């Protein structure tokens, strides 16, 4: 049965409710954020005298109105509102409360802030020169890299520049806060982490967590951009609501959102690789440097994941990975789909291509020589690669995509093309993406399952629905466990008063954690229901509680509780009672009762029809100090073949064909998973080809709207797009044998970038060297690589 996204019908009918769809109260206040126009400066004065004359102005707020002004998901180093110094263009300085939402922009312009500029750091290179860092340098190593490099047949070295990217979610940062009695606050936030919002709001206002409830119904896209950075805006709305005792709404415009919020971390990576004549990589040394922006946010955790993914799909016996986050004066960069993994995988995939160029071999040969296989199955941080289907993924896609025949055709085209005909490129890349938070305590989830007397079910978890379908998957898991239709199960909005101390919906682990907890809670109820059913099937129906409960003439059914359960895949003893198709049946006697009737009988016997489930990921043991151990529960794997054309006239890149083969274990919902694969890949394709962030000399983002920031449109998608899933029944690590799909497919888009490099490498000037195309490979970047002399001439004419 094909089960659609639970909100598909409300999306297409326009009835899905997002934050700003909530009806405004008659006394609601609308908030504007006045932010810094300087990247690094001392605040000399704030003049708000012109505001007093505007009829819609109510009041303004600064950091002095907060009880606690520091926040941060890892280090509490960032002020919610700037105090004496601003450290990036877009840093909040003043909040304005308006009676009318349409006056907010005008009111913001009436505030004059004078600054004393300080010297900003606006590049990774400048940060290195100034010794400006966030956190210490981290090292993860295996073997003796330096010694191994000395013994290799060949050495290559190089660097790769990887730019950032904007999340470009459709719903901007948004929050509405309602003051309740006795100093309580109810905050509706477009956030991936309801609990972090609750905690930061409580700290900012000087309240206890018990007095703050955060509710997340759905999010209009996030991609990591609302994992941490939604919380300050929720705090702003809550501050105004708390102080004025009126509902308060803060909805950023797209322009302000893009200027104020952090992006995917830019990286500059240097490497030295040693390999043998057959292309086997013996040693790899990589130095990763990222731009964290002005404050820590999640950048140190992002760097750690990058360090853990420098191997990608390849076994390298000797590795030395060093990583450090640079502190600059840009908006603090943050989580983005892949969370450091893409920047590391881009580096090793470029290295593979460069080795192939050096040895005059096809890159696919080098990849298959180095892929994890056989006894070569332990990562540089000491985790075995279990359930390894990477060789199978390579072999199957190599055949299914007709790789070698297409390679011949492309080579012939590039050799015989006219000067104005496009260059063609082909690349088959892989992904091995670790699934789990690398911060161990985040790998937990809880769920509350309620069964009502009509047999319908409500499920509450800490997962936030941002379009990825986590609610649908959780509803399927619960419905299947109870043997009822998914139409009888609803996953409720995320609330911190139902599910406390939850982790963010991130790291592709939303279903893993929350779905597992929901199954555990459901199994506890199911265990009790099976006992009730077993009793009913040996009881005269005339003596059921539904017939006698009001009279109290019969003894109640006594049930025992399910022993503590931690594994959602462990079969629950139901005493031969089967739950299927809305009926509950004794497998021996074939006696049955409808699920709804069983629920009613259980209620009348005072048997609990609700329960709480808690899940913690087992067997994690990564030591952050030594850089060794079990960092992930399992790996999601995939391969992709990308064929591109690059115009020598204007540098335009077109994706001609993409073939993807993913290992997603045993999918809960194949339709949703295919949607995630295609969507993730296309989003990544935008990052590697068109999405370039342009800043002025003061660090202000210039490309802060759809007119200046180029996300993929229909013309940027592959002309031919084939996506298939590999059947993999061997994964038993996760709930129902499924594998996470949120982030891994995006990394397969790196093959578009390597295919661009492959196309350009066919030019005569790259006969003996590999082109060093930065990421993204925009039309301008490609044209500069194809016709460098033209740009010298243009520059001279200026």
* Active-site amino acid positions: 743
Alpha carbons 423 and 400: distance in angstroms, whole number? 24
CB 638 within 8 A of CB 646: no
Q: What is the DSSP letter of 484?
A: -
Answer for the pair 486, 477: CB distance below 8 angstroms, yes or no: no
Residue in 130, 658, 669 with CA at minimum distance from that of residue 428: 658
Which structure tokens are listed for 72? 């941060």
Distance CA 643, CA 720 (A): 10
Q: What is the dihedral of CA 405, 407, 410, 415, to 10 degrees?
A: -110
57: phi then psi, degrees, rounded to nearest 5: -75, 135
Sort residue 293 into left (φ over 0), alpha (ψ -120 to 50) or beta.
left
Report whether 446 contacts 499 (CB < 8 A). yes
Token pair in block for residue 598: 């069983």
Sequence-separated (6 or more) residues with CB below 8 Å from residue 746: 337, 338, 342, 680, 681, 683, 684, 687
Written as one string, the DSSP assignment of 331-361 is PPP---TTTTHHHHHHHHHHHHHHHHHHHT-
Q: Judge whether 604 and 411 are in contact, CB under 8 Å.
A: no
- The answer to whether the beta carbons of residues 662 and 637 sit under 8 Å apart is yes
Residue 29 sits at φ, ψ, to 5 deg, of -110, 140
How many Cβ atoms are within 10 Å of 305's Cβ, its own excluded? 25
Query: CA 39, 41, 43 angle in degrees (round to 5)?
Result: 125
Q: How far apart are CA 257 and CA 451, in angstroms?
A: 41
3-state secondary structure 69-135: CEECCCCCCEECCCCCEECCCCCEEEEEEECCHHHHHHHHCCCEEEEEECCCCCCHHHHHHCCCEEE
User: Residue 752 has which token pair?
Assistant: 């578009």
CB 269 within 8 A of CB 159: yes
- Token readout for 705 is 């709207």
DSSP labels, 431-447: EEEEES-SSGGGSEEEE
Q: Which residues of 213-224 are buried (b: 16+ CB within 10 A; e: fewer)?
A: bbbbbbbbbbbb
CA 376 from chain centre, in angstroms, equals 30
DSSP code for 666: S
The H or E element that residue 149 is part of is helix 145-150
Residue of 726, 725, 734, 737 lying closest to 677 (CA atoms): 725
Angle between helices 670-689 and 341-359 (to 10 degrees): 70
What is the 3 state secondary structure string of 548-601?
A: HCCCCCCCCCCCCCCCCCCCCCCCCCCCCEEEECCEEEECCCCCEEEHHHHHHH
């Amino acid at each position: 049965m094909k089960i659609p996204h639970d909100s598909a019908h409300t999306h297409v009918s326009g009835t899905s409710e997002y934050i700003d769809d909530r009806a405004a109260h008659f006394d609601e206040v609308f908030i504007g954020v006045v932010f810094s126009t300087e990247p690094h400066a001392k605040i000399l004065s704030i003049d708000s005298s012109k505001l007093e004359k505007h009829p819609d102005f109510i009041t303004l707020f600064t950091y002095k109105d907060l009880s606690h002004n520091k926040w941060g998901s890892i280090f509490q180093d960032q002020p919610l509102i700037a105090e004496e110094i601003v450290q990036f263009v877009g840093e909040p300085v003043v909040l304005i409360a308006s009676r009318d939402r349409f006056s907010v922009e005008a009111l913001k312009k009436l505030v004059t802030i004078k600054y004393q500029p300080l010297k900003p750091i606006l590049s990774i290179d400048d940060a290195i020169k100034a010794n400006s860092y966030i956190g210490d340098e981290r090292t993860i190593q295996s073997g003796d890299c330096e010694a191994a490099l000395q013994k290799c047949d060949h050495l290559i070295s190089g660097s790769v520049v990887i730019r950032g990217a904007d999340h470009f979610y459709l719903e901007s940062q948004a929050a509405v806060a309602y003051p309740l009695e006795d100093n309580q606050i109810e905050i509706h936030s477009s956030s991936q982490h309801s609990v972090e919002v609750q905690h930061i709001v409580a700290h900012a206002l000087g309240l206890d967590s018990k007095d703050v409830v955060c509710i997340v119904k759905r999010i209009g896209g996030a991609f990591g951009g609302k994992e941490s950075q939604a919380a300050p805006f929720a705090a702003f709305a809550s501050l105004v609501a708390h102080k004025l005792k009126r509902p308060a709404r803060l909805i950023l415009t797209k322009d302000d959102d893009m200027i104020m919020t952090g992006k995917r971390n830019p990286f500059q990576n240097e490497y030295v690789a040693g390999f043998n004549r057959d292309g086997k990589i013996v040693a790899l040394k990589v130095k990763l440097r990222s731009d964290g922006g002005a404050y820590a946010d999640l950048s140190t955790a992002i760097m750690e994941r990058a360090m853990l993914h420098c191997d990608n799909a390849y076994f390298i016996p000797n590795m030395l990975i060093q990583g450090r986050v640079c502190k600059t004066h840009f908006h603090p960069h943050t989580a983005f789909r892949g969370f450091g993994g893409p920047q590391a995988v881009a580096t090793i995939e470029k290295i593979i291509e460069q080795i192939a160029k050096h040895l005059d071999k096809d890159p696919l040969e080098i990849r298959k020589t180095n892929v994890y296989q056989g006894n070569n199955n332990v990562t540089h941080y000491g985790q075995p690669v279990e359930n390894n289907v990477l060789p199978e993924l390579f072999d199957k896609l190599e055949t299914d995509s007709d790789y070698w025949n297409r390679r011949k055709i492309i080579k012939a085209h590039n050799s015989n093309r006219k000067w104005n005909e496009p260059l063609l490129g082909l690349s088959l890349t892989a992904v091995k993406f670790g699934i789990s938070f690398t911060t161990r305590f985040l790998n937990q989830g809880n769920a509350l399952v309620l069964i009502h007397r009509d047999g319908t079910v409500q499920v509450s978890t800490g997962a936030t629905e941002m379009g990825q379908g986590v609610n649908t998957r959780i509803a399927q898991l619960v419905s299947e466990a109870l043997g009822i239709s998914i139409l009888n199960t609803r996953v409720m909005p995320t609330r911190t008063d139902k599910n406390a101390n939850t982790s963010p919906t991130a790291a592709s682990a939303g279903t893993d954690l929350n779905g597992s907890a929901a199954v555990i809670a459901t199994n506890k109820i199911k265990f009790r229901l099976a006992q009730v059913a077993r009793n009913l099937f040996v009881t005269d129906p005339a003596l059921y509680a539904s017939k006698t409960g009001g009279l109290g003439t019969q003894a109640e059914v006594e049930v025992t509780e399910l022993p503590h359960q931690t594994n959602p895949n462990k079969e629950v003893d139901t005493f031969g009672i089967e739950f299927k198709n809305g009926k509950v049946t004794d497998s021996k006697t074939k006696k049955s009762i409808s699920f709804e009737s069983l629920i009613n009988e259980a209620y009348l016997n005072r048997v609990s029809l609700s329960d709480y489930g808690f899940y913690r990921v087992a067997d994690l043991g990564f030591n952050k100090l030594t850089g060794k151990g079990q960092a992930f529960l399992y790996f999601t794997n995939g391969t992709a073949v990308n064929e591109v054309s690059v115009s020598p006239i204007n540098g335009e890149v077109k994706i001609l064909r993409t073939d993807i083969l993913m290992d997603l274990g045993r999918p809960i919902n194949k339709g949703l998973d295919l949607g995630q694969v295609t969507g993730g890949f296309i989003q990544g394709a935008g990052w590697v080809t068109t999405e370039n962030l342009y800043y002025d000399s003061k660090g202000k983002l210039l490309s802060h709207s759809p007119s200046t920031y180029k996300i993929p449109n229909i013309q940027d998608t592959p002309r031919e797009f084939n996506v298939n899933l590999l059947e993999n029944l061997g994964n038993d690590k996760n709930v129902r044998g499924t594998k996470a799909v949120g982030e891994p497919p995006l990394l397969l888009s790196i093959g578009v970038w390597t295919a661009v490099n492959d196309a350009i490498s066919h030019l005569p000037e790259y006969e003996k060297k590999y082109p060093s195309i930065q990421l993204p490979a925009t039309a301008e970047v490609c044209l500069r690589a194809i016709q460098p002399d033209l740009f010298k001439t243009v520059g001279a004419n200026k």
